[in-house]
């Protein structure tokens, strides 16, 4: 029986590999999480063909585009695909399931591989992401880690995942720690759509019979927005209040923000962003502490004056079950301490 020429988003798991033939810029904005990028037109080539289409004619654009596409497909086969076995089943997609994916899939089928094109292309996949981000969050039992800044919530999330719990680490997916100091060195934030695809991919893999652990995030993590249905489901979840002493919190924050401790001038610049909230005199005093290397004093002041009041107001306003939260005290801040606490929480379910 001849293999089908097309498949839909629900059939993705039935293929050995997913190939995104859009340009690298399109791929960077968003893609199916399992896809590799083998563009039949790169960014410059796509712009060139588009300009010909608009300024000259569709016929001239198709001639130039066909030559470019043929060369690129040949190069991908030679460089990337020659080791694929005869029974390999790839799924190919482009923006809307048009000529780019059809061209690649046709050549692969002529070789003898059971290649198919994704019906509707990336746009069909994106519609599924939007729909599932609206519907999936309400299906899960959320356990929300609340706690003041530096109380080890992110450490505990990682320990929970290592212990086998279902964890949605939004800060990891957003490549940001969620505060004004939260940029990660050498890890720029993803595009909004790519963040949403990664969240949907995680949710789709969860078992609705088991709880999902998440941190008490705000609606924005850096420049990324958390999907509305997800934030509402989280805010209705069971709250666990992670409790740590101030010296523990200072130590954890110095560890998490080691790049700022190592380069105080970066920290000085970020502190300036708080001037409208705390005034120039206080910011200057904090900047002096940073330059003097008095990080314990600086972090303690930031917690007392900036982070704790802000977090307290925000969390009590947004998480309806915080008043009934069970306390989860840290006995220590070593790796084994978090691992032991995570195992205790997992055992409860």
Q: Can you say whether the dihedral through the CA atoms of 243, 248, 250, 252 is positive or negative?
A: negative
Q: Give the whole-angstrom CA distance, residue 181 versus residue 266.
A: 10
Of 36, 94, 146, 175, the active-site residue reads 94
Q: Return the structure tokens found at 288.
A: 């002096």
Provide φ and ψ at 203, rounded to 5°.
Answer: -60, -40
CA distances from 153 to 5, 37, 228, 277 (A): 48, 35, 22, 26
User: Which of helix, strand or coil describes residue 66?
Assistant: helix
The whole-angstrom separation of Cα 148 and Cα 308 is 6
Tell me how far apart the 2 most distant CA atoms of the chain are, in Å: 78
| 146 in active site | no
Q: How far apart are CA 322 and CA 237, in angstroms?
A: 9
Instruction: Give the C-alpha distances (Å, rounded to integers) separating 66 from 15, 53, 98, 168, 282.
Output: 27, 13, 13, 44, 63
As a whole number of angstroms, the distance between CA 283 and CA 301 comes to 11
C-alpha–C-alpha distance, residues 220 and 178, integer Å: 8
Question: How do the residues of the chain divide into helix, strand and coil, expressed in percent and rounded to 5?
Answer: 55, 15, 30
The CA-to-CA distance between both ends of the chain, in Å, stands at: 47
DSSP 161-225: HHTT-EEE-HHHHHTB-SSTT-BBTTBPPPPHHHHHHHHHHHHHTS-TTSEEEEE---SEETTEE
Catalytic site positions:
94
């Amino acid at each position: 029986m001849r293999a089908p020429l097309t498949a839909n988003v629900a059939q993705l798991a039935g293929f050995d590999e997913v190939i995104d033939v859009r340009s690298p810029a399109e791929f960077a904005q968003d893609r199916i999480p399992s896809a590799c990028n083998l563009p039949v037109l790169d960014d410059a080539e796509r712009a060139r063909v588009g300009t010909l289409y608009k300024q000259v004619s569709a016929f001239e654009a198709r001639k130039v585009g066909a030559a470019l596409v043929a060369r690129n497909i040949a190069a991908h086969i030679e460089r990337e695909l020659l080791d694929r076995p005869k029974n390999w089943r790839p799924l190919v997609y482009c923006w809307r399931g048009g000529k780019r994916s059809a061209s690649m899939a046709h050549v692969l089928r002529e070789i003898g591989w059971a290649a198919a094109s994704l019906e509707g292309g990336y746009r069909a996949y994106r519609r599924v992401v939007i729909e599932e981000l609206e519907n999936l969050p309400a299906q899960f039992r959320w356990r929300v880690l609340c706690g003041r800044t530096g109380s080890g919530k992110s450490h505990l999330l990682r320990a929970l995942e290592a212990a086998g719990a279902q964890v949605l680490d939004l800060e990891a997916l957003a490549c940001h720690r969620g505060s004004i100091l939260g940029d990660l060195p050498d890890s720029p934030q993803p595009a909004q759509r790519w963040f949403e695809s990664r969240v949907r991919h995680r949710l789709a893999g969860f078992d609705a019979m088991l709880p999902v652990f998440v941190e008490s995030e705000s609606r924005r993590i850096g420049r990324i927005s958390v999907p509305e249905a997800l934030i509402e489901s989280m805010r209705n979840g069971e709250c666990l209040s992670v409790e740590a002493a101030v010296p523990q919190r200072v130590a954890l924050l110095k560890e998490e923000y080691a790049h700022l401790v190592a380069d105080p001038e970066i920290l000085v610049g970020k502190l300036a962003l708080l001037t409208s909230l705390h005034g120039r005199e206080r910011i200057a005093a904090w900047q002096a502490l940073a330059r003097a290397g008095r990080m314990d004093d600086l972090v303690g002041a930031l917690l007392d004056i900036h982070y704790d009041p802000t977090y307290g107001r925000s969390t009590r306003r947004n998480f309806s079950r915080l008043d009934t939260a069970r306390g989860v005290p840290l006995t220590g801040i070593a790796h084994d301490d978090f691992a032991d606490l995570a195992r205790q929480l997992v055992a409860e379910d």
